[in-house]
Structure 1
Amino acid sequence: MSGTGKFCVSITHAKNDTDKATVGFVVANAAAGSDQDTMVFLSTEGVRLAEKGYADDIHEEGFAPLAELMSNFVVADGQVYVCAPCVKKRGIEPENLIDGATVVGGAKLVEFLADGTPSVSY
């Protein structure tokens, strides 16, 4: 994506707080739609969102269904990075991740943010 800047949304929640998980992807879509090179970093419990089928039944009132928000984000060239140790701890197999999700170490997040890229967390 040839955006004018970069933006990071860190999401640490899944079904333990579907509101935060949903709003995180709403903001990520807004950033991607504003020509920002946007990355969602899923860590701790948030990595569960990257598992195929997991988000299919999450639909917060007043928002699009989470699976739709996630799919739209990937279609908009958003990057979904998933914390490698967090995935391993939860026994999630990399081949069971949604399209567009990439398992990475913490260094990838540091690299993305090192130039002062703005980041919000949910």
Structure 2
Amino acid sequence: MPGKFVVSISCAKNDTDKATVGFVIANAAVASDKETVVFLSIEGTRLSQKGYSDDIHEAGFAPLKELMSAFAAAGGTIYVCSPCFKKRSLDENNLVDGAKIVGGAKLVEFMGEGAPSVSY
């Protein structure tokens, strides 16, 4: 079923369960033939950094690093909130596969035609 879908994730190691479930849902969406974007904001922007998620593994789920890699390999896109990213002094040369630093207007443009979304 074609269409668009957005998963917004605003947490990282401060709530690894939410971060993990967000990528589980994102993988389900991209596997359902949805053009899927994960929007990382606030603390979630830390997930954009290579190596950051390596030690996150919630019981009952695949490791977060694997979920993120599978999402990118399936064609999913990760939008990273530019002001949130800059506030945390993160490294734009250390982005995970599929990640792009964007302003809010890019997300609004993607969602402009009524894309459903969930937030974690």
Q: How far apart are 1:69 and its partner, in Å? A: 0.0
Q: How far apart are 1:120 and its partner, in Å? A: 0.3
CA distance in 2, matches of 1:23, 1:99: 19
CA distance in 1, matches of 2:64, 2:112: 29
Aligned: 1:101 with 2:99: yes
Partner residue, 1:47: 45
CA distance in 2, matches of 1:54, 1:93: 12
CA distance in 2, matches of 1:37, 1:82: 17
Q: How far apart are 1:17 and its partner, in Å? A: 0.2
Pairs within 5 Å for 1:17-28: 17-28=15-26
Q: CA RMSD in A?
A: 0.8
Query: Residue deviations 1:26-58, cap 9 Å, x none?
Result: 000000000000000000000000111000000
Q: How many residues align?
A: 120
Query: Residue deviations 1:86-118, cap 9 Å, x none?
Result: 110000011011121100000011011111100
Which consecutive unaligned segments of at least 5 residues does structure 2 have? none
| 1:87 alignment partner AA | F
CA distance in 2, matches of 1:86, 1:106: 11
User: SS at 2:78's partner residue?
Assistant: strand
Length-normalised TM-score, structure 2: 0.98
CA distance in 2, matches of 1:105, 1:118: 19
Q: How far apart are 1:121 and its partner, in Å? A: 0.2
Length-normalised TM-score, structure 1: 0.96
Pairs within 5 Å for 1:57-96: 57-96=55-94
Q: Which has the higher helix share?
A: 1
Percentage of matched positions with identical amino acids: 68
Provide runs of 4+ in structure 1 moved above 6 Å: none
Partner residue, 1:13: 11
User: SS at 2:53's partner residue?
Assistant: helix
User: SS at 2:79's partner residue?
Assistant: strand
